[in-house]
Amino acid sequence: MRNCYIESKSGIGVSHLHGTHKCIGYKRRCLRRQATQQKLDALQTEFHIRNEKLKQMKKAVAIEAGTAVKF
């Protein structure tokens, strides 16, 4: 069983063993962390897609500029 340390409102730490007591604060933190990780993953994917698009656009502009100089 995992040990979960929670600080109460009075500032006194309370230790709970998972499986013997409900550790609601721990579960909330886990859910928030999971939601934050999912948001981070989505934002990183979006960044990667936009970054690749930008690279392609820069390359296209460089090709256009190169052909304009030749004429």
Q: What is the pLDDT of residues 29-63, one digit of tens each?
A: 899 999 999 999 999 999 999 999 999 999 999 88
Distance between CA atoms of residues 57 and 60, nearest Å: 5
Return the structure tokens found at 43: 């934002």
Assess contact for 19 and 1: CB atoms under 8 A. Answer: yes
pLDDT band at 18 (very low <50, low <70, confident <90, very high): low
Model pTM score: 0.54
